[in-house]
Amino acid sequence: MNIPSEILPDVTFACGPSQGHPQARNTPVSQTLFERSHRSAGLAENGLYKEAAENIKKLLQIPSDYTLIFFHGGATTAMDAIAWNLADDSVSGLSFGSFSSLWCKKIAGALPSDVKKDFKSAPKGEYFPKELPDFKASLVMLTPNETSTGAQIPNSYLENAWANRGENTLIAWDCTSCAGGRVMPVGKFDAMVFSLQKCFGAGGGTSVLILSPKAVARAQVVAPKRQIPYILQFAEALEKAKKYQTVNTPSTTNIWLANESAKWMLANGGLQGMEDLCKKHAAYLFDFAAKTDYLEPLIREKENRSFTTVTLRVTNDKLQGADISSAVKKSGKPCLADGISKYSSVEENSIRIACFPFVDVTGTAQFEKLAKTISWIVKEMRTANL
């Protein structure tokens, strides 16, 4: 039929995603296709979802036979799914901060009692475990970059884990804090999870799962052995991923934002370019700290020091990182409303600063301003205490 265009409505009548508010439709958010069904071919296998999946895999140097899934919710949901679908008779890993501890102890700790659990923690007062996890366990869970403390697992450690894994071992990485900002050993994992809110600069609530063929096969073996909540099951998600679809309605806006980020990253040096940018940001902060008499890196060992998130210890007892962060928050600039607060579980007097690629795509100009701001605040605090 050739329906006369003048009689056609200008809104969507679909039941989900639904018509957006008129003000939203008149802003750039309308470009994100947020009103389109995630089942439509023009958005899935012939559109945004496929393009985003391929760009992200290309950027992260993912092997062609690995499957990418846009998963429900943020990284925590995906971390739950990895534990329940991929752990067979045993699980091991490293717990050295809030998020690695969440994954190992709270999530994997809830697995049935017939699953042997062995997690290595950092000694008190330190930030990286001295003991190695059991590389022969059915699932080894590693967090390459710990967002809470700014500690990282070096590439040499990840390479060693892969080289010494058991015949039936799967290696899983939580890359939330580094995917898109760090070059890592290519293809040396079976499952990777990350959210899109860090290096990709998208909103929260959307995660990405990447699975090797061996992980896909493991999920099929484990599924009959235990009850797994429907929303966490891999079977349907993997089937949908073949057509670049999702089980439920994802945030198309987040996927659009991540795709735009991936395209920019690929055009500006790729993953190596993004690592160089993050390292430049972190190096400036460490150099700045070294020039003060009140800041030093929280993570003393350089090889375990993250360059995507940096935590600086405040060494002067008369200064409080919380006060510095509070002063930044009260500057009146909306972009600084969250300050530079340490993560809640970190006991040390400290501040935490993001060094992701988009914090400053031109270099260190914004970090230079932050350093001047911190210096000004500390000077004022010291003057007030005289």
3-state secondary structure 206-240: CEEEEECHHHHHHHHHHHHHCCCCHHHCHHHHHHH
Q: Spell out where the chain has E strands.
A: 67-71, 90-95, 116-121, 139-142, 145-146, 151-152, 170-174, 191-195, 207-211, 295-297, 309-314, 350-354
Take residue 293 and report the two structure tokens written for it: 């008499």
pLDDT tens digits, one per residue of 277-330: 999 999 999 999 999 999 999 999 999 999 999 999 999 999 999 999 999 999
Take residue 96 and report the two structure tokens written for it: 């050295």
pLDDT at residue 31, rounded to an integer = 84
Handedness of CA 328, 334, 335, 339 (dihedral sign): positive
pLDDT at residue 58, rounded to an integer = 98
- 10 Å CB burial of residue 326 (0-12, 13-18, 19+) is middle
List of residues 6+ apart from 311 with CB closer than 8 A: 149, 150, 297, 298, 299, 342, 343, 346, 350, 351, 352, 353
pLDDT at residue 284, rounded to an integer = 96
The residues with which 265 forms a beta bridge, in sequence order, are none
CA–CA gap between residue 287 and residue 244 (Å, rounded): 45
pLDDT at residue 71, rounded to an integer = 95
CA–CA gap between residue 344 and residue 268 (Å, rounded): 35
Q: Name which of 183, 153, 152 is nearest 306 in CA terms.
A: 152
**What's the pTM value of the predicted model, to 2 decimals?**
0.92
- Residue 200 contacts residue 258 (beta carbons within 8 Å): yes
Return the number of other C-beta atoms located less than 10 Å from residue 42's C-beta. Answer: 11
CA–CA gap between residue 357 and residue 280 (Å, rounded): 10
Series of mean pLDDT values for 10-residue runs along the chain (386 residues) = 75 68 74 84 92 98 97 94 98 96 96 96 92 97 96 98 98 97 98 96 94 98 95 95 93 93 97 98 97 97 96 95 94 89 92 95 94 94 83
DSSP annotation of 91: E
pLDDT at residue 69, rounded to an integer = 97
- Residue 87 contacts residue 139 (beta carbons within 8 Å): yes
- Residue 49 contacts residue 255 (beta carbons within 8 Å): yes
Q: Is 362 left (phi over 0), alpha (psi -120 to 50) or beta?
A: alpha
CA–CA gap between residue 200 and residue 185 (Å, rounded): 20
